[in-house]
A and B are shown apart, each in its own frame.
Chain A
Amino acid sequence: MTDKQAGGDVRLSGISKTYGSFTAVHPLDLTVPQGSFFALLGASGCGKTTTLRMIAGLEEPTTGTVRLGDRDVTALPPHKRPVNTVFQSYALFPHLNIYENIAFGLRRRGIKSVKKQVDDMLELVQLGDFAQRKPHQLSGGQQQRVAVARALINHPQVLLLDEPLGALDLKLRRQMQLELKRIQTEVGITFVHVTHDQEEAMTMADTVAVMNGGRVEQLGAPAELYENPRTTFVANFLGTSNLLEAEVVRNTDGEVVVTVGGGKLRLPAGRCPDATATGGKVLVGIRPEKISLAPAADVDAVPAGRNSVTGRILDSSFIGVSTQYVVESPAGKGLEVYAQNVEHRAGLEPGAEVVLHWNPEHTFGLDAAQAIDAGVETVGETP
């Protein structure tokens, strides 16, 4: 199976899509390595679905080319591309039973003996007992699995998934995420997955491309994107970031020192944008779970060499595994801190004066020319 698909990278070069005066996708270069699980992540309207549909051939690119391996498929209609799609609403054929839905692609290619393959596929998605049912007699999760089976049975070079888990409830989503990941590992086909759920993208994909306004903001492994966001959008859209406006005081010996609200913070020069000279503005970021919280009275107990700022707890919410604090500080308003609930700690109630401290290595710097809250509100939308 893998021999047949050798060199099956998806290569998009200079691909773009405009509708009248609206540009859905700006010229884009993207390579999806063969066999990888690739996620296109972004809020609705960011061009991720359009990009996917251009790979499927359902949308004609305004400029650029789509290549599968070394074959240019830009001009091919969908039915001639070795690519299959799992649609957002599944788009199962309501007049055909599950068996015939899954056999559809094979039959269209003139394959006569489909029984063995369909049975194998039904087994893979654990729906053997449902072969004779009609799609509307199945639950959402089962329909979703049929949609995956119907696409996978054709052994496409690339499987495209358009928000396939969007209609499922949270528990089922988690289950299907693992299921899809298992199937992908089992069949070894390239998956391109479109989603607006950052958690889904991070748990499933090997590589995530974060899209915003028709452009790819950043591309990389989930941990890489999370730890080293290069734009405020990525910093805010993937998880939560505390971004502070800072001024550079010194940039020497691979270390940058900045002032924030009167205090000094240090961060590695390698995690800062290139053009940071003394006196320049920079946005300093720190993830909420990297911060430790201590009562102001214990300030002397903070180990030397750590970044620290003082503040006052505005609000705290207990959510089981952790407690989330909102802290007001001269460095910035509404700083978020997530503390693991390992043991109960006194003196961390709303109104308490506290000190926030963290390892300087965990601090990242961003170009101050961007909107500090890019990608913030869209996080609130994701279920």
Chain B
Amino acid sequence: MTVTEAPPTSPAPARPPVHRTSVRRRLVPYWLLLPGVLWLVVFFVLPLVYQASTSVQTGSLEQGFEVTWHFATYWDALTEYYPQFLRSLLYAGTATALCLLLGYPLAYLIAFKAGRWRNLLLVLVIAPFFTSFLIRTLAWKTILADGGPVVEVLNTVGVLDVTSWLGMTAGDRVLATPLAVVTGLTYNFLPFMILPLYTSLERIDPRLHEAAGDLYAKPSTTFRKVTFPLSMPGVVSGTLLTFIPASGDYVNAQLLGSTDTRMIGNVIQSQFLRVLDYPTAAALSFILMAVVLITVTVYIRRAGTEDLV
């Protein structure tokens, strides 16, 4: 009894500050989140809401647009532009596959064989970023020019016959063909494939290779059963970083392609900036987003990398 009745001395004034610091401490994560969240709200969520409302408006530029919940725009846009959608997925998919084929050996070399050249090679991978994306893409116009040395060589060697047969080129031209667009996409997105691949390959303990060899795996089997499965996180993030922006890209198709190689990005761009049909453009953007999201979700499910990361 006497204990409970003891006069409250210092604890009373001491407690509030303790309480306040703990509250402040609990708020720290939110304060740290705030700038990023604000940024996303202003530059991502609000435009998205605005686009969503635009996509269900009707009207014209002269009379102004009004929200009429006209969902038919989506259906119209899809039926009219599905070839461009399919083409986008095809080009982006091909470019992603090519990036993987070109990037994997390079990332492997940098991670395991480069030794003291490793850092230099990594800088070289990023080096193109020092020049504008547009300038580099325009440069490909010169590289792939009709009658230029590259096209001549490809023609002489017979590569163009094969690509023509595949429908990737027409006659002895490369420029303004699907091949040119896919080449441009591959070139522009290659570093986004190499860097994540390198990161995941570099994390693999070289002793695992030795262990696999010690357990009767040939070098090729070691790659198939150990190295490649362990690099899956890099393969997945590399392909996503390549495929997602490539499927919405329009610069490569515009500069290196022709009207027959228009991708969905070109359609959206012209609907917004030239035709000024904002609802259709907005609807196309949302359809593209949905298509990419679904494709990516299915892909990640299939790749099954959850327990690797």
Using a CB–CB cutoff of 8 Å, the interface residues on chain A facing chain B are 56-58, 77-80, 83-85, 87, 89, 91-95, 104-105, 108-109, 134, 150-151, 154
- Please report the C-alpha to C-alpha distance between residue A205 and residue B216 in the assembled complex, in whole angstroms: 27
By a CB distance below 8 angstroms, the chain A residues around B211 are 85, 87, 91-93
User: Main SS of the interface on chain B?
Assistant: helix
Q: Which of A58, A84, A108, A134: most chain B Cβ within 10 A?
A: A108
Are A58 and B216 closer than 8 Å at their CB atoms? no
Assess A154 versus B215: contact at CB under 8 Å? Given A94-B230, A95-B308.
Answer: yes
- The answer, among A77, A84, A89, for a CB contact under 8 Å with B207, is A89
Assess A95 versus B230: contact at CB under 8 Å? Given A89-B205, A89-B207.
Answer: yes
Contact of B208 with A by CB under 8 A: yes
Assess A79 versus B208: contact at CB under 8 Å? Given A94-B230, A95-B230, A95-B308.
Answer: no
Using a CB–CB cutoff of 8 Å, the interface residues on chain B facing chain A are 205, 207-208, 210-218, 221, 225-226, 229-230, 307-308
Are A150 and B215 closer than 8 Å at their CB atoms? yes
- Please report the C-alpha to C-alpha distance between residue A84 and residue B208 in the assembled complex, in whole angstroms: 13
Minimum CB–CB distance from B198 to chain A (whole Å) comes to 19
Are A104 and B229 closer than 8 Å at their CB atoms? no
Are B212 and A104 closer than 8 Å at their CB atoms? yes
Closest residue of B by beta carbon distance from A108: B216
Are B208 and A78 closer than 8 Å at their CB atoms? no
Q: 25 interchain pairs (CB within 8 A)?
A: A56-B214, A57-B213, A77-B213, A78-B213, A78-B214, A79-B213, A79-B215, A85-B214, A89-B205, A91-B205, A91-B210, A91-B211, A93-B211, A93-B212, A93-B226, A94-B208, A94-B230, A95-B226, A95-B307, A104-B215, A104-B217, A104-B225, A108-B215, A108-B221, A151-B214
Closest residue of B by beta carbon distance from A78: B213
Q: Which of B207, B210, B215, B221: most chain A Cβ within 10 A?
A: B215
- 13 other A-B residue contacts (CB within 8 Å) besides A79-B214, A79-B218, A154-B216: A56-B214, A57-B214, A83-B214, A91-B208, A93-B208, A94-B208, A94-B230, A104-B225, A105-B216, A108-B217, A108-B221, A108-B225, A150-B215
By a CB distance below 8 angstroms, the chain B residues around A56 are 214
Assess A58 versus B205: contact at CB under 8 Å? Given A95-B229, A95-B308.
Answer: no
Minimum CB–CB distance from B208 to chain A (whole Å) comes to 5
Question: Which are the 8 A-B pairs with shortest beta-carbon distances?
Answer: A91-B211, A105-B215, A91-B207, A108-B216, A78-B213, A85-B214, A108-B217, A95-B229
Closest residue of B by beta carbon distance from A56: B214
Assess A87 versus B207: contact at CB under 8 Å? Given A93-B226, A108-B216.
Answer: yes
Closest residue of B by beta carbon distance from A83: B214
Closest residue of B by beta carbon distance from A94: B230
Are B207 and A78 closer than 8 Å at their CB atoms? no
By a CB distance below 8 angstroms, the chain A residues around B215 are 79, 84, 104-105, 108, 150-151, 154
By a CB distance below 8 angstroms, the chain A residues around B308 are 95
Minimum CB–CB distance from A300 to chain B (whole Å) comes to 64
- Please report the C-alpha to C-alpha distance between residue A80 and residue B214 in the assembled complex, in whole angstroms: 8
- The answer, among B207, B216, B226, for a CB contact under 8 Å with A109, is B216
